[in-house]
Every structure is written in structure tokens, then in C-alpha cells.
């Protein structure tokens, strides 16, 4: 990925990270497996484990990036 922008907010007393991944090709607002939309701010609720969220550069170069939230940290990796 070219860069990741993370905006922390508190929502209903929980820490939520709004994550924007910029693909290697320069595109952002990647297609989210969680919402089925192109997300500029993919919400990731911290403090609980959630299924892996895959962001795909679609339409675009097709690369995918995974967000994996665990109890107290977030992994972001390119597939």
C-alpha cells in the first residue's frame, strides 16, 4: 500500500478507527468486503475481534488489502 490514514473516533463509548488505505496504484476509497461499498473511511471497531475485512482496488489494479482487528490492535497487510 502507498499509505494508510487512520482517524480515531469514539462511538457509543468504543474506540473506532476510520481507515483509508491508498493502493500502490494511487487509488483510495477501495471496495470493502464488509459494507460492499467503496469506503474512504472503513470503520473498524476496536476492543473485539472481527472477521477479516478485505479492501479491493476495484475497479482498478485489483490488489487487495486485509484489515484484521484483534482485542487491542489492528493488522493491515497487503495480500
| DSSP E strand stretches across 1-79 | 3-11, 14-22, 30-32, 38-39, 42-45, 53-56, 64-69, 74-78
Check residue 23 for interaction with Zn ion (CB under 5 A). Answer: yes
Q: Given the complex with Zn ion, which of 1 and 16 has the nearer CB atom?
A: 1
Q: Given the complex with Zn ion, which of 15 and 61 has the nearer CB atom?
A: 61
Pair 62, 49: CB distance under 8 Å: no
Of residues 44-73, which lie at the interface with Zn ion (CB under 5 A)? 57, 60-61, 63
> Contact positions toward Zn ion, by CB under 5 A?
23, 25, 27, 57, 60-61, 63
Amino acid at each position: 500500500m502507498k499509505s494508510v490514514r487512520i482517524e480515531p473516533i469514539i462511538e457509543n463509548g468504543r474506540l473506532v478507527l476510520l481507515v483509508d488505505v491508498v493502493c500502490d496504484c494511487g487509488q483510495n476509497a477501495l471496495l470493502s468486503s464488509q459494507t460492499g461499498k467503496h469506503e474512504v473511511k472503513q470503520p473498524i471497531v476496536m476492543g473485539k475481534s472481527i472477521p477479516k475485512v478485505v479492501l479491493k482496488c476495484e475497479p482498478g489494479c485489483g490488489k487487495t488489502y486485509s484489515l484484521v482487528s484483534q482485542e487491542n490492535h489492528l493488522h493491515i497487510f497487503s495480500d
